[in-house]
Structure 1
Amino acid sequence: MSILAGSAERFAYDRDAQAVGIVHLGIGAFHRAHQAWYTDLALDRGDCDWAITGVSLRSGDVADQMNPQNGLFTVTERDGAGERNRVIGSIRNVLVAPRQREDVFAALAAPGTRIVSLTVTEKGYARKADGRLDFDLAAGGFYPLVAEALERRRNAGQPGLTLMSCDNLAANGLQLQQLMTEYLAQERPELLQWFEDACTCPSTMVDRIVPATTADDRAALAARIGVSDEAAVFTEPFTQWVVEDRFAAGRPRWDVVGAQMVADVAPYESAKLRLLNGAHSALAYLGLRRGHTFVHEAIGDPAIRPLVEELMRREAAPTVAAAPGQDLSGYADSLLLRFANSALNHRLAQIAMDGSQKIPQRWLETLAAASVEGRRCPAILTALGAWLSHVRGDNGPVDDPLAGTLARLWSEAGMSGIVGAVFGRSGVLASEWTPDAYDCGEIERSIAAKSLTHPGSLSPHLTSLNQASDK
């Protein structure tokens, strides 16, 4: 039975009349709950020819879920007031790059395609520790696909593309442009000038909490709406999308349905990465260490919540150059409410994955900015200690592209040298922040606190935390 036969709210536009205008690389749950959701609403407001072809870069699981459903799926918003379900019609089909490579090239090079968007996660950009492109890793990712499509478009006299990163990277558009330029300079130098002249890479900030869907979620949804949806996604009511309005060949009217089109994404991006994502990662590693499973459990822990508030309000927020009207204190308030949403069941282990790719922009950039201003960040240092404990294996198997490297560093450097081996000037995560003696001591104290199990255990540290943050 079609999803359209269920009781969920649905779109009103003629789906079959919509041509594909967007190809999305990395079609996971977040894209379906965010960009595809916005595009569905824009099509419902009268936009035309902005349907989406999704591309899975590795696994065929999403294609196997969505293609039998003709690309249809539901987005369910959950909070204390209940659930709201909507059928999304903006995705036309899903291709699997390893087994449909020529079809992917054709979709990217099609005359109607104007935007190529990406949610490939931080590690999907194949960056070295210094931010430059790792060509060995890039060869197995999206770079060869996009480069081939660009060449076909140029040779056919077609317009350039907008390459739009929707991943949690600082200045994600600029980073994508620089990395793509590096790739083309080595692999297809004849395309460099055309890429620079005809294509754009706008920056974006995306914000919506989307936990992994479980079998129980799908079963409960089927009972609620009367049909089964193998591609269902579940999320919170809150959503935000801030986009640099710089497109090569037009865009959907996302601004009509709630997206913010701006000249400079940086203030919103910094706030999201340093407050929301920074707090999320702290909740993950501190929460797992204390035996919690979900975000709402961790934020409800009186030993953790003060650290998270400290991180957001007194450490991260002062490093953000807020845009006019951007209320960082109010933003922190709203984040605490969102974290406490027990209807989401957002797993800490999901957030904890790939930490080595996340903490540079979530924590290390805040530490660098605060250091310039002469301020300490003991809450972030405490979280760094919890992360180092995590990658040592204290919480179980480590899911991180640098898991082997970090395990070796722990074995070679031990407690007395691990901070320098990871974060020092020659460390595997060297950055503009270099830990001094105070920083090393706070991180080591956090690592040693791994056995703390009762809510009052961290309260002596909170006293020093408040004193240190005034320095």
Structure 2
Amino acid sequence: MSQPIPATGAAAATDEGRLVHLGIGNFARAHTLVATQRAGNWSVSAFTGRSAAMADALNAQGGRYGLIVRGAEGDEVSIVDVIDETYPADDVDALVRLLADPFTAVVTLTITEKGYAAGTDPAVSVPARIALGLKARREAGVTEPIALVSCDNLSGNGEVLRAAVLAATDEETRSWFDDHVDVISSMVDRITPSADDAAGDLVLERTGLPDTVPVVTEPFTEWVLEDRFRGRRPEWEKAGVQFTDDIGQHELRKLRLLNGAHTLMAYAGQLAGCDRVDEAIGHREVRALVERLWDEARSTLPLPPTDLDAYTAALEERFRNPRLADNLIRIAADGSAKLTVRALPVIAERGGPEQAPGEVAAVAAWTAWVTERIRAGEEVKDPRADEIAAAARLDKDAERVTALLALLDVAADDPLVPAVLAQEIRLPRP
């Protein structure tokens, strides 16, 4: 059931605006909402992702939760209390009313890559729900611009969001859109593993808050936003957020170096018997694969070598943090979507699989890992899980790899197919 939305007049007297966040999970609570709290003077309404459980938990705690910043030497614990109300994802009526309210000026999203391809049915699609809210905003005569900000790990995330919303938008709202809606790309970076069982006890001990949904994260944080807001926005600069006219360089650097290494370690690390990122980067053979992947990815980035040296050195330090304990199985989700944007473009830009053995290893680690998981009767979390399972069960390796790579839109006669097949047997094992 929808909760009452605060009256805009009373809220406007103390706040600069309302931010609506869609897809409230660990990452948003450790990153973008922390920056919004530090910016000050903004109201936040949040909507859950797949489950309503987070809404129940946060509302029971008055929107407050513990943030544990887990450094190599110790923990810093604080309370984040920027959320006013959390709604279940399927409360479309509440979202529509919030977006039609002129006090709402910014919408941020962490809905994962597959959330942007959910179609035009508001029952299952976040972009379609936004389209309904924008229609209501237009019909209410609201003239102040509203900004839609994608905070998901995909290149050109603002353009992807724009296309997904417009695909679900009626003709009149589509004509109104450009004059009233800013769609902002952003690059976000903060490793946020699942909280362990002791996290809630630590929050209670340090702060006195009984917390069922604490968040654990690393000291490093980076958020880069396109500087294209016409309307109100939080003063995120106070939290160290960067604004730029060229988001592409920041996106590509993170996508190909951090996310690419994460994807490789998620599969190759588990095949080698590792459970966590720090174990994987400390494994001699897996580390060698990561270094090879970095060398290949660096060659495709238009950035000075000194900048890239500093970035990869910082990545290694982050990966080696033994107290962060980021589980590889968490990072392994949605591989069919991730590899198409993290590994395949580098292989193409390098001139083919012979020139990109590190990226080929990332793809081969995925095909080998999903095959072992499926044949062991275990789950693979992926938007194409059923198709992956069917392909992984094929008896002949050549047919199996061909079918799996077809899910990445790789043709059967592509040289990547035999390259992956050959690389599978070279991957490190326990």
TM more than 0.5: yes
Shift of 1:449: 4.2
2:206 partner letter: R
Task: Give the superposed CA RMSD.
Answer: 2.5
Counterpart selection for 1:355 from 329, 335, 341:
335
Shift of 1:249: 1.2
Note if contact 2:224-2:244 (Cα within 8 Å) is conserved in structure 1. Answer: yes
Note if contact 1:282-1:308 (Cα within 8 Å) is conserved in structure 2. Answer: yes
Note if contact 2:113-2:153 (Cα within 8 Å) is conserved in structure 1. Answer: yes
Note if contact 1:174-1:203 (Cα within 8 Å) is conserved in structure 2. Answer: yes
Counterpart selection for 1:343 from 323, 330, 339:
323
Give the 3-state SS of the residue equivalent to 1:215 in structure 2: coil
Counterpart selection for 1:156 from 140, 147, 162:
140
Cα distance, 1:20–1:160 mapped onto 2, change above 3 Å: closer
1:76-109 Cα shifts (integer Å, max 9, x gaps)? 11112211112112211101132x3322221222
Distance 1:182 1:325 in 2: 41
Shift of 1:412: 4.8
Cα distance, 1:283–1:143 mapped onto 2, change above 3 Å: same
| 2:65 is equivalent to residue 73 of structure 1 | yes
Aligned to 1:300: 282
| 2:262 is equivalent to residue 280 of structure 1 | yes
Aligned to 1:145: 129
Give the 3-state SS of the residue equivalent to 2:219 in structure 1: coil
Aligned to 2:111: 120
1:307 partner letter: L
Distance 1:252 1:198 in 2: 18
Aligned to 2:396: 414
Shift of 1:325: 9.7
User: Please, what TM-score do these two structures have when normalized by structure 2?
Assistant: 0.90
Distance 1:58 1:175 in 2: 20
Aligned to 2:386: 404
Distance 1:303 1:104 in 2: 49
Distance 1:421 1:344 in 2: 36
Aligned ranges 1:199-238 → 2 under 5 Å = 199-238=181-220
Give the 3-state SS of the residue equivalent to 2:231 in structure 1: coil
1:114-168 Cα shifts (integer Å, max 9, x gaps)? 11110001111116xxxxxx446x7512123211111111111113421110000
| 2:313 is equivalent to residue 333 of structure 1 | yes
Where does the alignment leave 5 or more consecutive residues of structure 2 unmatched?
1-10
Aligned to 1:249: 231
Distance 1:179 1:76 in 2: 35
Counterpart selection for 1:175 from 155, 160, 173:
160
Please say which of residues 289-298 and 138-147 is displaced more in the overlay. 138-147
1:79 partner letter: G
Note if contact 2:147-2:184 (Cα within 8 Å) is conserved in structure 1. Answer: yes
Please say which of residues 61-70 and 405-414 is displaced more in the overlay. 405-414
Cα distance, 1:444–1:375 mapped onto 2, change above 3 Å: closer
Note if contact 1:161-1:249 (Cα within 8 Å) is conserved in structure 2. Answer: yes
Distance 1:404 1:326 in 2: 44
Distance 1:26 1:16 in 2: 28
Note if contact 2:184-2:225 (Cα within 8 Å) is conserved in structure 1. Answer: yes
Aligned to 1:459: none
Counterpart selection for 2:102 from 111, 118, 125:
111
Distance 1:18 1:196 in 2: 26
Note if contact 1:78-1:343 (Cα within 8 Å) is conserved in structure 2. Answer: yes
Cα distance, 1:414–1:292 mapped onto 2, change above 3 Å: same
Cα distance, 1:219–1:446 mapped onto 2, change above 3 Å: farther
Shift of 1:399: 1.2
Shift of 1:435: 7.5
Aligned to 2:179: 197
Note if contact 1:160-1:195 (Cα within 8 Å) is conserved in structure 2. Answer: no
Counterpart selection for 1:59 from 47, 51, 54:
51
Number of residue-to-residue matches in the alignment: 416
Distance 1:359 1:22 in 2: 32
Note if contact 2:268-2:427 (Cα within 8 Å) is conserved in structure 1. Answer: no
Cα distance, 1:326–1:206 mapped onto 2, change above 3 Å: farther
2:79 partner letter: V
Shift of 1:416: 1.1
Cα distance, 1:201–1:452 mapped onto 2, change above 3 Å: same
Distance 1:177 1:269 in 2: 17
Where does the alignment leave 5 or more consecutive residues of structure 1 unmatched?
1-13, 128-133, 454-471
Cα distance, 1:296–1:451 mapped onto 2, change above 3 Å: closer
Distance 2:395 2:105 in 1: 50
Cα distance, 1:366–1:451 mapped onto 2, change above 3 Å: closer
Distance 1:252 1:375 in 2: 47
Note if contact 2:79-2:207 (Cα within 8 Å) is conserved in structure 1. Answer: no
Note if contact 1:160-1:199 (Cα within 8 Å) is conserved in structure 2. Answer: yes
Note if contact 2:146-2:182 (Cα within 8 Å) is conserved in structure 1. Answer: yes
